[in-house]
Amino acid sequence: MQPIEVNRTAIGVVRKPHGVRGGLKVTLHNIDLKMFQNLEQLFVKTGSNWKQLTLNSSQGYDDYAILSFKEIKDRTEAEAYRDQEIYTNRDELPDLDDSEFYIDDLVGCVVVDEERKPLGKVVEILTPGAHEVLVVQQGDQETLVPLVDEWVTDINIEAKCIQVNSAEEIK
């Protein structure tokens, strides 16, 4: 029997454990904390497998959330989730306006300069802190492009294309 592929979307990245009861401090990717009111099951990818987590509670702050899960009982267990992406099933998220996108939508997009010259494809999104960073690959070369207005001038999810400032600036 073939496994069923589920369409999951990353909604945040675990920064570190929070407290002694297994809470996780999570930086959220362009989602609102109130979206958690409708979510019970979240997922973490461990190797090629998915681990399902049942949400107990969520608290929001300026740029992060504190999430607690039934499966994580203490700080030691929570430590294993450091730097892991948290996912939900895509169909559980609300539909977006035409100008909005989920961060996972950028993977696979072609990156071009102002003259529409291809610079590579987005193969990964890094979340090191203040903002996301696109990992753009062309052949064996990888380039990091900050996902900020100064670098990224246009994102067209439907066309799977991201326009950036001139190639000289990102090489």
Domains 8-92 and 103-170 fall in the same CATH topology:
no
Structure tokens at 146: 């900050």
Structure tokens at 8: 């999951």
Homologous superfamily (CATH) of 103-170 is: PRC-barrel domain (2.30.30.240)
Closest CA to 22 of 64, 61, 88, 80: 80
**Ramachandran quadrant class, 98 (left: phi over 0; alpha: psi -120 to 50; beta: rest):** alpha
pLDDT digit string, tens, across residues 5-28? 568 888 888 999 999 999 999 988
The answer to whether 111 and 136 are in contact (CB under 8 A) is yes
User: Which pTM was predicted?
Assistant: 0.71
The domain ranges of the chain are 8-92, 103-170
pLDDT digit string, tens, across residues 138-160? 999 999 999 998 999 999 988 99
Classify domain 8-92 by CATH architecture.
Answer: Beta Barrel (2.40)
